[in-house]
Structures are given as C-alpha cells and as structure tokens.
Amino acid sequence: MEEKRALFFLILHLAHEDKGFNEKESFWKRVKDNDNLDFEPGKKYKYSNLSYAMLGQILEFVSKKSLFELFQDEINKSLGIDSKELRFDYIENEDYASGYLKRWSFINFAKYFVVNSEMYSDYEDGWLKLNQHNVDYKAMGGLITNAKSVGLFLQDLLKEESKLLKPETKKLLNQVAKNNDGEEAEMTLGRHVGELGGAGFHCEMRIYPDKKIGSIVMTNSTTFDVKNFLNKVDVVF
C-alpha cells in the first residue's frame, strides 16, 4: 500500500465512501495517476460520487455485463419490475418528469459555475426547467426510475426472506458504518443516511424494519422539503 495506496483501498471503503480521494480531477485520471490519499481509508467519512462510479466499474469488469444488464438480471426480473421503469438511459418518446430549479435560489445561481448550459432550458413560472441528461458514470446516480419501482425494492428488504439479499447482507445494508475510531458515518454499506437529490430532483426513502413499513417521496424540485414531508406523513403509520 505504500507505493500505490490509492489503487488498493478496500471495496468496503468504497461502499462507505471513506476512501480519501481528492475529487478535483476526472475519474480516469484519479484512477490512473493519483496515488495520494487525502486521508487513510476508513479514517473519516466524505461524500463522494467517485466511490459508486468505481464500484460500478468493478461490477461490470467482474460480471462481464453492463450495469443495465446486471439490474435487469438481478433486480428487475426478481422483483417483476418492467425494464422501462428501472434503467440507466432515457427511452425515446417516453414521458419523464423534468427537474426544476427555483429562479431565486443559490443552486440556480451556482449552475453557471458547475454545469454546461445545454443542461437547462427556459423558465416556467419562476422555475428553470432542466433538460434530460445522463451522468458520466451510471453507478454514481444515473438510475432512472419511479416511486413504484423503489417501493417494490423496499418491500423486498422488509420481507423475512428477501429475493435480492441474504440475511447477513441485508443486515449490513441497515447497519450504520463506523470509521477506524468507532465514530458513526452518514452511510451504511451501500446506503446514504439522509436526504439526497440530483439536478432538479429531491428524494428520500425510509424503512422501519420493526414496523415492517417503508416510505418514499420523489419530487422534481430541489427546494421541496422531503425530510419534513415524510416526518409528517410517517407518524400516521
């Protein structure tokens, strides 16, 4: 690990997003050239899309399949989800929700510095419409789906015998990760703990294993308070 530490971090740390890479460089340049870590793997938590981008590359290399093929074989078929409703690219002439940014918001102002102008369209009643786009690496947030499909995924996780995961694997998915000093991170082994959103979208899903229920909200606005919404809805159950 002394000569090329950046290429020998554990896959476990990728799933926990605590591998310590500097995120200022492009994906392939980091993998090929960067042998310096910001911190030792497992030392602390740092949100990073690179972790899942690399996991996706590993999965495709080992399986000799694309992520789309893997999802179709391992998830869609197992849960009875149509290939149109859980995929990594847009289907021509199909209807999709568009993401929106509020005109008077920090993220709308910041877009000029972080995204290409081709990503956004015109304003509609004070909201900037975003055009359809795919991320560079599918595994780091490129999944295109709907609440129904995610609901089927959550239902499977709540079953005593999951079709997707072994009991020990499911336990790891719900277990909050810890760094080398025993401090909790905002991750489980493969799941971020907290709300997330993409360009023009804001989503959150929850599971309550003891009550055997789950909840999910997917919105096409980055200003919608999904956390507060589910806090109010979930107490009903």
What are the sequence ranges of the domains in the chain?
A: 1-89, 97-131+146-176+194-237
Give bridge partners of residue 111 from the DSSP assignment. Answer: none
Better-predicted residue by pLDDT, 137 or 220: 220
- 194 has pLDDT over 90: no
Tokens of 92: 């021509």
Rounded to the nearest angstrom, the gap between the alpha carbon of residue 112 and the centroid of all alpha carbons in its chain is 24
Rounded to the nearest angstrom, the gap between the alpha carbon of residue 144 and the centroid of all alpha carbons in its chain is 11
- 164 has pLDDT over 70: yes
Give percent above pLDDT 70 in the chain: 82
**pLDDT average, residue stretch 218-234:** 87
- Answer yes or no: are the C-beta atoms of 216 and 206 closer than 8 Å: yes
**pLDDT average, residue stretch 55-60:** 84
Across 5-9, 89-93, 222-226, least confident range: 5-9
Quick one: pLDDT at residue 45?
78
- Residue 26's pLDDT band (cuts 50, 70, 90): low
- 7 has pLDDT over 70: no
Calculate ∠ Cα 71-76-77, nearest 5°. 115
- 189 has pLDDT over 60: yes
Quick one: pLDDT at residue 5?
43
Q: Name the burial class of residue 95, with classes exposed (0-12), middle (13-18) and buried (19+) by CB atoms within 10 angstroms of its CB.
A: exposed
Distance CA 44, CA 4 (A): 20
- 73 has pLDDT over 90: yes
Quick one: pLDDT at residue 201?
82
Q: How do residues 112-163 score in pLDDT, each as one tens digit?
A: 776 777 778 888 888 888 888 777 778 877 888 999 999 999 999 999 899 9
